[in-house]
Structure formats: C-alpha cells, structure tokens
Amino acid sequence: MYKSLLLSLLLFCVFLSAPSSASGIHDYNFKVSRGDAFYKFFFSAGLSGQLLKKMMASDERAQRLNNIYPGDKFKITLNDNHELDQVLYSPVNDNPLLISYDGKSFSYRKERIQPIGELSHTIITIKKSLNYDAKKAGIGADVVKMMVDNFSWEIDFSKDLRKGDKFMLSWNGEKTPIAMVYVGNKKTIALFLYKNNLNQSKYYTFKGVTLNDTFTFAPTKYNRISSSFTKRRFHPTLKIYRSHRGTDFAAPSGTPVFAPAKGIIKYKATLSGYGNVVYLKHGSDYVTVYAHLSKFAKGLKSGKKIKKSELIGYVGSTGQSTGPHLHYEIRINGVHQDAEKIILPKQSFVPTNAMPEFQKRARRILKVLNEG
C-alpha cells in the first residue's frame, strides 16, 4: 500500500516537471496540477499567443480547455518545422479531445476511449472501524464521508463490517477516487466514478446505477391526507397546540404499509405516543418513520435489509391516535421534513450510449486493482 502511494506520488512529481518529450522530440507532454492554465503549456511548447487566440476562437469545443482539472493531460505535437500539428487533451473523467491544425484551420475530434493514466490504489483493511482504519491508511475525512454516503445504501456500518473486510480505493491523481470497492466476506460492491454531461460526478455500480434509491411518495394506499406537516396545530386528544412533524395518511386499519425506498430497519418498538412504530434508515442521511401500526410485518427486526416496496406493517391506531391512519415522517440528518414538499434525490443511471465505454473502463480498473 505504501509502495503504491509512493509510486503514484513519484509519477505525479515526474509529470509536474515542465515539458518532457518522452515519446519524440516534437511531443510535449503535460499533466495539469492545481492552478495550471492551458496557455502555460501552449507557450511552453514554443507556440504563440496569436495562434492560441485563433485556436480558442475556432470552435466552441476549444472552450473545454478553459476548464481543466488536476490530473488532466495534454500532448502537444509539433511538425518538423516546429509548427503546431495537434493538441491531444486527455481529461481524467472524459473522452480525450484531439485538436488538429493544418496550418490554416483547426479540426476537432473526440476520441472514444476514456484513458486511465497511472492508477494507484489504497486498501483499507477493517480492524476497528472504517473511520479509524481509513485514517490509518491516510484517507481524508471527506473521502470517508463519500464512502459512507454511497455504501450506506447497502451496508449497515454499525453492524455489517467484519474484521478483515476491505475497502479498495482506486486513484487517478485526483482528490476523489475513480473507483471504490468493498470486499466483505458475504458480498463485494464495486462503484465507479462517472461524470455526466452536466459535469456531475457520481458513483455507479457496474450496471450503471447509483446505490441510492428513488422514494415513492406515499408508503401506503391512502384515502386522503388527514393531517399535513405543520409547525403548530391543535391536538384533538391532548387539547393543546403542538406541531405535527409528519404526514398522516388516512386508510382503513390493516392496509399494508410498504417501504418507499430500500433501507435498513433501524428500530422497531411499541411506544406510548407512536404506538407500534418502525424507523427505516436509507443511506447515511435519511430516516423514515411509520407510526400507529396495527401490526408489524413478519420477521421484521432491527438491522434487517428492506427492499423498496417490501411490506413493513399495517395501518392501525395504536398509541396516541384518534383513528386508523399512518403517521409518516421523513428526517434528513435528524431534521423533520415535509413529505408533501420535500424533493428527494433520485437514483441516477449512466446513459445507455455511454455504457459500453463505462463498463470497459470499469473492467480495466478492476483488472488493475486485481493485479495490484
């Protein structure tokens, strides 16, 4: 692990040192580091500001060069007269862009391959906890949070991790890993970074889907919403004003209640106010609550993984309740949200036309991880 970190550091430093001409005397190779701008590379290759201006004005695709990121690479090739022949721009997370110049005009071509530069990887072996062991492996808190945000949709970090489980992170010179792989004794989950057309990066499984789920609006078939989310309302049983931090779905007793998205049962109890209640955790940030249930679904217990639309219980009137209804809550990081108004994130997909390339890239990353 140290070896690979050192190696990546070494490679990074090699690329930092000004124009190299490794592949021929007319090739100038550059790797972008923080604060770099394309014109610096252009000038380093001995080309003029006038030509740069002409190139930037030649096509809107040239504007992409104003948005370069650490880890991106450039190869500027000159002809025998030391005039510009072509610029090959290879961003870390996008297809390479080839700009050719014939002495008069520029032509543009987007290469289909997503290149993978020199990959390095970090392996976190669980001995105590993800937080502890990741820190020991030199992984920053922001990356750990990203891991937890993604994997929590499938892994219960408080219960599922075992000594010896591994998290493998694959890097391509950027701050965020291009792949994150969990290898447990029961299952393996591999996630790959993909940047969509809107420049949003997310982690996707090999099948091209994010691990997070899309929530359905109501967890039960209901007749009407008998009470909306409000900060202050008159409580008919308690005869006092108090807030209602959930949504009440009126439905006959015994109507099935289904999980609106996949999750893990966090808590199941019978309480004086809520009656029979279930807390379902979705990912690291979301918790949904189902109160006044007449009964729980069979086999429901804390820690159980629940699929979207799986039965969790039946509408009832247990606890402090005036009649059969489902009291439903959505909490994000502990803060109650209005289920009728909140817009929840949806599951994302890699576009179908990008899938062959995405999977090819994913296979290559896994191969490197395997060999590493």
Which residues are at the interface with Zn ion (CB under 5 A)? 246, 248, 327
For the bound state, the minimum distance from the C-beta of residue 124 to Zn ion, rounded and expressed in Å, comes to: 42
For the bound state, the minimum distance from the C-beta of residue 248 to Zn ion, rounded and expressed in Å, comes to: 4
Considering the complex, state which of residue 71 and residue 219 has its C-beta at the smaller distance from Zn ion: 219
Kindly report the number of other CB atoms within 10 A of residue 295's CB atom. Answer: 14
**C-alpha angle 308/314/316, rounded to 5°?**
140
For the bound state, the minimum distance from the C-beta of residue 246 to Zn ion, rounded and expressed in Å, comes to: 5
For the bound state, the minimum distance from the C-beta of residue 297 to Zn ion, rounded and expressed in Å, comes to: 20
Considering the complex, state which of residue 120 and residue 337 has its C-beta at the smaller distance from Zn ion: 337
Considering the complex, state which of residue 96 and residue 246 has its C-beta at the smaller distance from Zn ion: 246
Distance CA 293, CA 265 (A): 15
For the bound state, the minimum distance from the C-beta of residue 327 to Zn ion, rounded and expressed in Å, comes to: 3
DSSP string computed for 289-312: EEEEESEEPTT--TT-EE-TT-EE
Considering the complex, state which of residue 282 and residue 327 has its C-beta at the smaller distance from Zn ion: 327
- The CB-nearest residue to Zn ion is 327
Considering the complex, state which of residue 246 and residue 283 has its C-beta at the smaller distance from Zn ion: 246
Closest of 309, 261, 277 to residue 152, by C-alpha: 261
Considering the complex, state which of residue 281 and residue 327 has its C-beta at the smaller distance from Zn ion: 327
Distance CA 156, CA 109 (A): 46
For the bound state, the minimum distance from the C-beta of residue 229 to Zn ion, rounded and expressed in Å, comes to: 9
Burial label for 9, CB within 10 Å (0-12, 13-18, 19+), is: exposed
> Dihedral through CA 364, CA 38, CA 9, CA 123, nearest 10?
-40
Distance CA 288, CA 215 (A): 11
Strands 120-125 and 166-171: antiparallel
Asked if residue 286 lies in contact with residue 308, where contact means CB atoms within 8 angstroms, the answer is no
Helix and strand numbers (H, E) in the chain are: 6, 23
Considering the complex, state which of residue 72 and residue 248 has its C-beta at the smaller distance from Zn ion: 248
For the bound state, the minimum distance from the C-beta of residue 133 to Zn ion, rounded and expressed in Å, comes to: 42
For the bound state, the minimum distance from the C-beta of residue 177 to Zn ion, rounded and expressed in Å, comes to: 42
Considering the complex, state which of residue 214 and residue 227 has its C-beta at the smaller distance from Zn ion: 227
Considering the complex, state which of residue 101 and residue 290 has its C-beta at the smaller distance from Zn ion: 290
Its sign, for the CA torsion 78, 79, 82, 85, is negative
Q: Report the run of H or E that residue 168 belongs to, with start and end.
A: strand 166-171
Closest of 28, 10, 35 to residue 89, by C-alpha: 28
Distance CA 146, CA 207 (A): 20
For the bound state, the minimum distance from the C-beta of residue 247 to Zn ion, rounded and expressed in Å, comes to: 7
Distance CA 18, CA 163 (A): 45
